[in-house]
Structure 1
Amino acid sequence: MNTARPESVALFCLTPGGVALAQRLRSEFALDCFTSEKLLQPGFIPFGGSFAQTVEQAFSQYSALVFIAATGIVVRVIAPLVCDKMHDPAVVVMDERAEHVISLLSGHLGGANELTRHLAEILDSDPVITTATDVNQLAALDTLAAKLDATLLDFRQTVKTVNQMLVSQKRVGLWWDRDFAAHAKQYDTRGFIPVDDLGALPALDALVCVTLRDVLPAQTIPLFKLVPKRVIAGMGCRRDTPSQTVATLFSQQLAANHFDPLALRVIGSVTLKKDERALLDLAQHHQVPFEVFSVEQLAQHEHRFPASEFVRQTVGVGSVSQPAAWLLSHGNLVGTTLREQGVTITLGVIDRC
């Protein structure tokens, strides 16, 4: 998924005026500036082959693209590249006199709206943002999800439904689980109706709940869970353990700790397991990274946990799942470690509010 805070920005300029404006922006924040050979300045990158070819490469390599060019030119060059709002980078367009900065693509999830406002502030320009929630000075569910690094079941349709309800002046409640309530004021929630108690709802048309829980009290109105990706899993298993066995035990461990599977952020293990099919399959199924640690890294925290001589002889360290979970969660482990059928699973939670 793309991000609401672009980490890598490519800027394209096609005219001498555009190059001058790019020079001004380079002094304010980090970006890679691309231009033609004849306009090349120190620190700029020449187009590789052609303008269109360079844009095509950048579209998949950068989280945001900024063009100092006519909107029509930009639309034509990115049209064959556009996929969907979940993966497209932010695209922002501005004129070389910096009168207008336009959020063109991926306004919410990609962060184009936020980047547009930032650039307009630097240049004292007019930000042009046309997304319905922003025009109506309302929060957007996809923006909130991106800021929280959270996801939803049937993300695309749920975002469309909730945002449409907001701009249609429907009453959409927003409830924060206790782990997140203290940080709620950090986020843009304009248009949502605050909810403090799931057992005593005000009059609402729908409810959004920010939570890691797998189950919430049943409601008589549509309920949508916004699930921050905060749960980590340290894991170990015997070589060639069946993928289904690992998947079943992992589901049991999540359920035992009342975590929604969508809350999973990363799975970790020891380097020896980097090619373990069951762990790779599990990470792929949940669409999360699989991170491995060296024996030396795990050994630094081995003293905190019970050790197994069998595991030490096999792996080189007396415990795998617990030290891995400790490293991934910065020491914030939860529940007890599952040990069944040669599989160990330790869960933790990270704080990214």
Structure 2
Amino acid sequence: MNTAKPESIALFCLTPGGVALAERLQAAVPVTCFTSARLQKAGFQTFNGGFATALREAFTDFSAVVFIGAAGIAVRVLAPLVNDKFHDPAVIVIDERGQHVISLLSGHCGGGNALARQLAGVLGATPVITTATDVNELAALDMLALQLDAQMADFRQAVKTINQLLVSGKRVGLWCDAPWRDELACCDTRGFTSVENLSQLPALDALVCITTRCALPEFALPLFKLVPRRVVAGIGCRRDTSFARLSQLLHQQLQANGFDPLALRAIGSLTLKHDEAGLQQLAQRLNVPFTLFTPEMLRQHEHHFAASEFVRQTTGVGSVSGPAAWLMSQGQLVGETFREQGVTITLGVAHRC
């Protein structure tokens, strides 16, 4: 999913009035402003290859695009690039008088609605939000996933189904596993029906369960599992260990500890492994960061784990997977360290700050 970052907002304006509005926004929000060579001012960049070309490049390169002008112009220029709301950047349109700030694309996952409200606040304008859940003052599954940094199998279809049920007035249950209830309390859950006990369900049309568990009871209604990304894996391995072996053993360890594979948040290892192809491929395939720690950083915590003198002579530290998992989870480890086929894996759980 794409989320708009303040440092990657591109703003386009075509008229003197647009430039004046852009200057007001630039003073309050970190934006990169683009205009024509005729209107260029200090702090503004000129269009590279013309307005349409520059706007399309920004659609690809920035997390959010703001256009001061007619909505029709933005639609016609960007239409060939539009993919879906889970990957497109937020697109905001502001009229030249600064009266309305329209969230045009990617209002939820792209952060368009939030950005429109922020810019409207700066200008004293009216934010124009058209997403069905927002206008009905309801939460949305895609926003809940964003707030929790959570994933779901067949996410696109799940979002469509659950959000449609919510705006249709259906009863969608929301149950949260104990470790994540404090985090859920900070999220928007309007319209969901709170479920306290899975063994005593109220009358529902569907149920969303927030959990990192790999298995849940079976229910006689549509069940959707939203999985917070909280599990970290410290991994040590022999040089040139294959991706296939690493993947098999990691999934085996996740399953042994009852974790859904979607719960994985990061993989960590030693800086010496920066070019380990199997680990790099593993992180890429699972779409998680590959975090590297120096021997000095790992040595601070290796006393918690069984050390290997061979590993110490080779790497400068007696244990890799355990200290790496410790650092990524602030010491919240789960289960025993796995050791097999020249691979060590230690799991931990990292709560969001």
- Once the two structures are superposed, the pairs formed by residues 46-85 of structure 1 within 5 Å of their partners are 46-85=46-85
Aligned residues: 353
Match of 2:331 in 1: 331
Confirm or deny: 8 A CA contact 2:64 2:90 kept in the other structure.
Answer: yes
Q: 1:330 to 1:286 in 2, by over 3 A?
A: same
**Which one-letter code corresponds to 1:258 in the other structure?**
G
Partner SS, residue 183 of structure 1: helix
Q: CA deviation at 1:5?
A: 5.9
Q: Would you say the 8 A contact 1:132–1:167 is kept in 2?
A: yes
Report whether the alignment pairs 1:93 with 2:87: no
Does the alignment pair 1:21 with 2:9? Answer: no
Instruction: State the match for 1:216 in structure 2.
Output: 216
**Equivalent in the alignment of 1:204:** 204
- How far has the Cα of 1:282 moved from its partner? 1.9
Question: In 2, Cα distance between the equivalents of 1:185 and 1:301?
Answer: 33
Structure 1 position 173 matched with structure 2 position 150? no
CA 1:167 to 1:6, structure 2 compared with 1: closer, same or farther past 3 Å? farther
Per-residue deviation, residues 200-233 of structure 1 (Å, max 9, x unmatched):
0110010001111111121111110111111111
Cα contact 2:4–2:63 (8 A) shared by 1? no
Deviation for aligned residue 1:7: 5.0
Structure 2: tracts of 5 or more residues without a match: none
In 1, the alpha carbon distance for the partners of 2:47 and 2:323 equals 47
Partner of 1:290: 290
Q: What is the deviation of 1:182? A: 2.1
Paired position in structure 2 for 1:346: 346
Mapped partners of 1:7, 1:216: distance in 2: 40
- 4+ runs deviating over 6 angstroms: none
**Cα distance, 1:6 vs. partner?**
5.2
- Counting only pairs closer than 5 Å after superposition, residues 198-347 of structure 1 correspond to structure 2 as 198-347=198-347
Q: CA deviation at 1:261?
A: 0.4
The normalised TM-score by structure 1 is: 0.95
Q: 1: distance between equivalents of 2:4 and 2:154?
A: 19
SS at match of 1:119: helix
1:6 touches 1:90 (CA, 8 Å); kept in 2?
Answer: no
SS in 2 for 1:65: strand
The answer on whether the counterparts of 2:5 and 2:64 sit within 8 Å (CA) in structure 1 is: no
Q: Percent identity?
A: 65
Secondary structure at the residue paired with 1:182?
helix
Distance 1:299 1:57 in 2: 46
How well do the aligned residues superpose, as a CA RMSD in angstroms? Answer: 1.6
Q: Which residue of 2 aligns with 1:8?
A: 8
Moved more, 115-124 or 103-112: 115-124
Q: Which residue of 1 aligns with 2:154?
A: 154
Contact kept, 8 Å, 1:120 with 1:126, in 2: the verdict is: yes
- Tell me the amino acid that sits aligned with residue 28 of structure 1: A
Q: Aligned in 2, Cα 1:45/1:332: closer, same or farther, shift over 3 Å?
A: farther
SS of the aligned residue for 2:65 comes to strand
Contact 1:4 1:146 in 2 (8 A): no
CA distance in 2, matches of 1:299, 1:51: 54
SS of the counterpart of 1:2? Answer: coil
Offset of residue 293 of structure 1: 2.1
Tell me, in whole angstroms, the C-alpha distance in 2 between the residues paired with 1:328 and 1:61: 30
Q: State the TM-score, normalized to the length of structure 2.
A: 0.95
Q: How far does residue 4 in structure 1 lie from its aligned partner after superposition? A: 6.1
Query: Structure 1 CA distance, aligned partners of 2:58 and 2:298?
Result: 38
Cα distance in 1, alignment partners of residues 340 and 80 from structure 2: 50
Contact kept? 1:266, 1:290, Cα under 8 Å: yes
Partner of 1:128: 128
Q: Is the 8 A contact 1:4 1:114 kept in 2?
A: no
The CA deviation at 1:32 is 1.3
How far apart are the structure 1 equivalents of 2:257 and 2:270? 24
1:68 Cα shift?
A: 0.7
2:6–2:30 contact (8 Å) kept in structure 1:
no
Residues 6 and 110 of structure 1 are in contact (CA less than 8 Å); yes or no, is this contact kept in structure 2?
no
CA–CA distance in structure 2, aligned partners of residues 58 and 295 of structure 1? 41
- Between 1:340-349 and 1:55-64, the stretch displaced more is 55-64
Q: Give the whole-Å Cα distance in 2 for the aligned partners of 1:36 and 1:174.
A: 50
Amino acid at match of 1:280: Q
- Alignment partner of 1:109 is 2:109: yes
CA contact (8 A) 1:334 1:348 kept: yes
Partner Cα distance (1:4, 1:12) in 2: 16
CA positional deviation for 1:77: 1.6
Q: CA deviation at 1:90?
A: 0.6
Distance 1:5 1:159, change over 3 A: farther
Secondary structure of 2:278 counterpart: helix
1:328 Cα deviation after fit: 1.8
2:191 aligned partner, one-letter code: G
Partner of residue 188, structure 2: 188
What is the rounded CA distance, in whole Å, between the counterparts of 1:193 and 1:47 in structure 2? 50
Offset, 1:275: 2.4
